[in-house]
Structure 1
């Protein structure tokens, strides 16, 4: 309740209260800048051809994003699950993008999930620290029901080998299988529905005495919500995956390209565009961000070297920035705006001993109905990156 009240008050008041951030002015309109004066360093400022990045990995990743848009947020299952624990935004699962399954090492992923087309992973917890209960879900699509059932059996068997547990019934869903690990304090459950395999893990490390009944009920709600959400998902035929669009409405072409280390394993371009529901799974505070998205009319978010949000109009873009600033205020201090870009709000880690992975230097740039979140560990490069991102947003709008 307090978090919601804070957000509501902030959206109404932050624009006025924070006009001192950086060297911003007092207008609620997104300022315009002379792009000829901006220092963009070596960053590109011309929209790229996104289709040129298409590979055989693209189709399954695009389908994974479509699945993600049908997956409920953990907080929609249990309103207490309002914290995302990691800095990473990737939630897609494909044969080329394996992920550790509950109690199973990533190295075993391919052997256990033969016939996988694509899937989505999400997790949230009750506390911002890793102490306390958590809920995670895997929503996996296979080529057919037989492959889904085989994967379910293999995963259950392997889980029992690695983390033995006692059988638990999921109320109202006799087809679901589950076990409770006394030592690890995990409840792992699985359910197949046609070609879909749903995996749910409920973690409860602190409650004494242990009572698995409410955990099984939470797993039941998770399955019910997943199945309800999947009604809105129409699987793309496998032979048509490569026809799915990589760039939606030019969002990615005007988002700075993800920089990759020369030594990084070549997994193709991981940039993506997500619809609102899928995007909320990537946010640190999904409850606050969902309210901010609804207020600002966010419908699409692009992810690459920067993150770009599309709102309903210019005023909404400014309100979204205000909401983001409020969410992160405890970890940040204000720093100067980029040269020749007064009004751009930038921040750096408040506590020198704090977590600069969680709170890297950041700038928020608005152009028309678009908001860009730019991060970089070096402030000079951050400013150049923000300038380049602004220039990109002005192209072709």
Structure 2
């Protein structure tokens, strides 16, 4: 259900009757959120946008397979992506950026003709900056090829769009309040009516998701908190506590669902289960549920989770009957790191999930995680 990696940086201090190996059972402090940080603020603003990102399968069945959601904004600036060219936006001081990708299949060959859709969201200090940035992005892309032609969208006259006749893709940019929406769509055929219909539907869905979004003032960006409820302090420390979208962050259920191959289904499942937030720390996840009953039900759901890597039960942690452990019967091609073993650890209104490439290690990690949760109350 998520991406995990690594378990280096283990500490050795612990006080537990369980076998925790060299893992620390000392709770992590919240210093990562205690001081103003521009870099942390950019990440948080990007994750706020991700919580409102539209998914490809909400646009059309041709984009049924999610290819993940990515934070494009870093402390050093914005990374390039489809429809988003960082140098063109730099003069307008972007404060956060998130992009989702989808296609007709989970895996697409580099040279295959296929359906593909990306929707990017970039926040700016004010509405004028967003308007100017949308113009700059559109003009930058338009000027890359002299054969590009402008395209109008009747339902969205403010959108700046163009395509190259005979080439089956179209790019479009539109400012909405202080956010720029960038849409790039590719089809199997150079059908302008189809391409514009896809883009119009993407705007319709994305604008609906942005309804209620409250932009942050630029001078308040360093004050944004990554972890309002201190969920990350309840996970075993296995690496530096430095805010990072993959290794140390707190996601909304929708934002976290966007990382997977079927985000609509995942978002629905999280909503039905009562998941309020998901903390990510290296190879560990903490799901915050609405109450203890929901946490118990979600524990059962995780145990039966039909992921691409099929997991079957294995022996758990001696002395901790609450912990359930599993081993994968096949590798998961959607994650960069192998995750052969996993354990699920419920405690009151939260459920932790830990992964490892080694069976003995995952049990020790689970034991340490169990101890940390018990100590946190």
Query: What is the correspondence of 1:1-397 to structure 2 with a 5 Å cutoff?
Result: 36-52=16-32, 54=35, 55-78=37-60, 81-86=63-68, 90-91=70-71, 93-94=73-74, 96=76, 98-102=78-82, 109-110=86-87, 112-114=89-91, 115-130=93-108, 132-162=114-144, 165-181=148-164, 185-204=168-187, 207-208=188-189, 210-257=190-237, 259=239, 268-270=242-244, 271-305=248-282, 306-324=284-302, 326-334=304-312, 336-340=314-318, 341-342=320-321, 344-351=323-330, 357=336, 360-361=339-340, 362-397=342-377
Secondary structure at 1:292 match in 2 = helix
Q: Could you give the per-residue CA deviations for residues 140-174 of structure 1, whole angstroms, max 9, x where no partner exists?
A: 11123343234323322332355664433223111
CA contact (8 A) 2:55 2:264 kept: no
TM-score (ref. length: structure 2): 0.80
Q: 2:4 is matched with which residue?
A: none
Change (3 A) 1:364 1:59: same
CA contact (8 A) 1:313 1:368 kept: yes
Q: Shift of residue 258 of structure 1? A: 5.8
CA contact (8 A) 1:41 1:384 kept: yes
Q: Distance in 1 between matches of 2:149 and 2:358?
A: 51
Q: Distance in 2 between matches of 1:359 and 1:253?
A: 25
Q: Shift of residue 134 of structure 1? A: 2.6
Q: Shift of residue 308 of structure 1? A: 1.1
CA contact (8 A) 1:292 1:320 kept: no
Q: Shift of residue 330 of structure 1? A: 4.7
Q: Distance in 2 between matches of 1:69 and 1:387?
A: 32
Q: Unpaired runs of 5+ in structure 2?
A: 1-14
Q: 1:25 is matched with which residue?
A: none
Q: 1:3 is matched with which residue?
A: none
CA contact (8 A) 1:338 1:387 kept: no
Secondary structure at 2:295 match in 1 = helix
Change (3 A) 1:192 1:274: same
Change (3 A) 1:329 1:112: closer
Change (3 A) 1:191 1:150: same
Which structure exhibits the higher relative contact order, with contacts defined as CA atoms closer than 8 Å and separated by 6 or more residues? 1
Secondary structure at 2:22 match in 1 = coil
Q: Distance in 2 between matches of 1:243 and 1:83?
A: 36
RMSD: 3.1
Q: Distance in 1 between matches of 2:317 and 2:252?
A: 33
Q: Distance in 2 between matches of 1:70 and 1:172?
A: 21
Q: Shift of residue 181 of structure 1? A: 4.7
Q: Unpaired runs of 5+ in structure 1?
A: 1-34, 261-266
Work out the number of aligned pairs and report it: 349
TM-score (ref. length: structure 1): 0.76
